[in-house]
Amino acid sequence: MFPRLVVFDMTGTTVYDDGAVNRSIAEALTESKLPTRSPQVAKYRGLMTSTIIRNLLRDAGDPRHELASEIEPITKRFCETMIAHIESERTVGQVPGAIEIIDWLKQKGCLIALDTGLPRPVADAYIDRLGWRGGLINYIVTADDVDRGRPHPATVSNAMKFFGLENPVHVAKVGDTPQDLIQGKSAGCGWVVGVTQGAFSSDALHIYPHTHLIPTISQLNEVFDPSEDDDE
């Protein structure tokens, strides 16, 4: 069976992550008088940015974690830092093999969506920098488009609704964090694929629900069998 829709995570899965997301969140929190290091951020990778910020404030016993009015300016500062990074740094680029595997999937008639816990302005900055707008990616779902982020299946459900798909068995979720895998399982996806070249190793991901773990995104073509078709 071959999927009708593949929902890819962005940073770490299709977009090269040089640690800028973690650093920018840590910087935004430090500027808001909560000294934070990138490793503290890393354990929450895959969640919505605002949720990561809320969790780190909560972990520190900072009462601001209960107030959206306090989290919003920190998130805004994160966006400013990230967009400046995306627009200026040479390290920004695709994960090796991402374009090729997406192109292969599209040649097989598969629809392609990206989902991310990043705010829309940051996701758009990545798409524009990489030249992925128009044609390559059919749809993008960001944290700003849903009420709940990973591991809730909202972004996957959003993409399915956009394409008019009702049965998640025809959908594949591909990501590099535990949140991606839990989300794919919760959404009922026919394929839940963890890529272990990103934020988490194979040892870290294997304990979470999945149908496949692959070392690199380039090996996704080994997961799907285009010779089989399901017309259900």
Looking at beta carbons, which pairs linking 190-193 to residues 24 or more positions away fall under 8 Å?
190/1, 190/3, 191/3, 191/223, 191/224, 193/220, 193/223
Confidence of residue 227 (pLDDT cuts 50, 70, 90): low
Question: Which architecture, in CATH terms, is 5-17+92-222?
Answer: 3-Layer(aba) Sandwich (3.40)
The pLDDT value given to residue 18: 87
Task: Find, among 22, 48, 11, the residue nearest to 130 by Cα.
Answer: 11
Distance CA 66, CA 81 (A): 24
Question: For 139-194, how does the pLDDT look when each residue is reduced to its tens digit (9 = 90+)?
Answer: 999 999 999 999 999 999 999 999 999 999 999 999 999 999 999 999 999 999 99
pLDDT at 1 over 90: no
Q: DSSP characters for 146-213?
A: -SS-TTSTHHHHHHHHHHT---GGGEEEEESSHHHHHHHHHHT-SEEEEETTSSS-HHHHTTS--SEE
Question: For 77-117, how does the pLDDT look when each residue is reduced to its tens digit (9 = 90+)?
Answer: 999 999 999 999 888 999 999 999 999 999 999 999 999 99
